[in-house]
Structure 1
């Protein structure tokens, strides 16, 4: 049966809708970056990322049109002020794209896995390859400029072994010392430190530019949450004699002119919150020490409440776009009775 005769599944609709929202946001941010980036090598990767987002938007528009599904509103030129003064350093832009590449690898892999129709799988498979190229390019430039933050090093193991006691899973004991962190746990602590560092910087920059008091306060609250979580994860590493890797200059400037609409920045922080919750869930599932699992679970609740409060603000200003959904059958029945 031809693809065009097979309707998209709910998972495929969700994937293309989410992809369009994310790429329309990225195009606005990367377009602004292009106006201010000075370093030639960094400009090349910003341009590469911008071109990818632009091409993805056009391809997704074709899919929506072919399926006769309303195109999402997403984000447009009205959500970015390209003439706003520089808010981010070149190093921040590069680090942002590096993190965007990491998130994109996970997103496109998930979209591809949820898609059944070949043309949709082909689109996301190509997107996965392109995002892999973006991550590779940004990684190489970050390494060459000395700002790629590597995960902590540990001694190579000299043998393989099995867990021989239930104490291995325990993170709390008044009578014995906690076992050292294993490499899997260290990897997730490192990853969550890095994502929270980026989140804290973005929240600060968004608060700096927003003209609305409630959004300023929400953004600064997000910064404080990220900094608190960094401290929790850093403490876990330091207690094992591991110095957490730190980034170099990825700072923001002192400009208070907003380059992006509050609608865009609120969506972006909500997206980061969702990503953070997913990262914590993955880390909790992969970690074997109970104290780490408990930390991830309680910190996830804090992110969830923060995201809920952000959604309330977006609803207040009519900025929260609805994903495609099923029809409310009760409302249909009621409407029919009223006719």
Structure 2
């Protein structure tokens, strides 16, 4: 008889995180599907919903087979399907495209942390579906004339090497500062776009939440995103590089909450974590010292926002705890006390 291979901490953590994220996504996408009218955009939003719903059920089955508790996560109680329309249809497309990017990054990491064959197969499937969703949403955006393209630069005609330490410097205002390279431009561009999505979500969540502390948190997040966008755009414009053309991702004037505060706070926590990860990647890839410093200080600002959000979630018991190791010292003390 073959001994059962138990899930590792990496696999449990990845499955738990994926379940939480997909549970939240099904609520967001279900609301979008009820109201969306654009017949070109609706199918890709439906595909995104189907992916999230199926993923959630697959993980539920895995947990049940392992006799593990299934997270509470989110349910129909966290979405008001009768609330007025909150987003434009183009926002829905931009949202799906952005969350597909988040999914590709997340699932590749989860796959790399998995050892058991069935779990690797699952995350490989998830990575493939996230890639398909990104490609489909990008194709529709292109046909709609939406600009998701990174800025153009002149293509390289020959190879070159760094011939001075000055290549890495960026702070001295009295010396010539080298232009941005292609890698740095790409990260500045993508971080501008992601902050634009985050800013619009903060506006939507702020105006629809009934709690002042949640409203204040979302408005603070909006201001931080707006500040970060300006910093990135100004850096691009210094080199005469066209700033990203952000699609019409508008928000209606509805103040009726379509989502629970618990869901909205969780969603912003996810986006902030993703943003901090993007900044870390950008800092590691950038070769100008001023850019590295910018990403580090902006990451700290985002981390402080995340901390204040976590405090709100803890206060209202919205922050579901991930599975963790047993406190061995506590177990030993409890046993001693029972004797």
TM-score (norm 2): 0.98
Q: 1:103-148: CA deviations, max 9, x gaps?
A: 1111111111110000000000011111111111111111100113
Shift in Å at residue 174 of structure 1? 3.7
CA contact (8 A) 1:139 1:148 kept: no
Shift in Å at residue 248 of structure 1? 2.6
**1:203-218 equivalence runs, <5 A:** 203-218=202-217
Structure 1 counterpart of 2:287? 288
Is residue 306 of structure 1 aligned with residue 289 of structure 2?
A: no
Structure 2 counterpart of 1:322? 321
Structure 2 counterpart of 1:149? 148
CA contact (8 A) 2:78 2:260 kept: yes
Is residue 77 of structure 1 aligned with residue 76 of structure 2?
A: yes
Structure 1 counterpart of 2:223? 224
Is residue 65 of structure 1 aligned with residue 64 of structure 2?
A: yes
CA contact (8 A) 2:27 2:79 kept: yes
Structure 2 counterpart of 1:190? 189
Shift in Å at residue 42 of structure 1? 0.8
Distance 2:283 2:238 in 1: 19
CA contact (8 A) 2:147 2:245 kept: no
Structure 2 counterpart of 1:239? 238
Shift in Å at residue 303 of structure 1? 0.5
RMSD: 1.0
How many residue pairs get matched?
338
**1:166-177 equivalence runs, <5 A:** 166-177=165-176
Distance 2:99 2:259 in 1: 18
Shift in Å at residue 249 of structure 1? 1.2
Distance 2:37 2:148 in 1: 22
CA contact (8 A) 1:94 1:142 kept: yes
What SS class does the counterpart of residue 5 from structure 1 fall into?
coil
Shift in Å at residue 338 of structure 1? 1.8
Distance 2:205 2:239 in 1: 35
Structure 2 counterpart of 1:18? 17
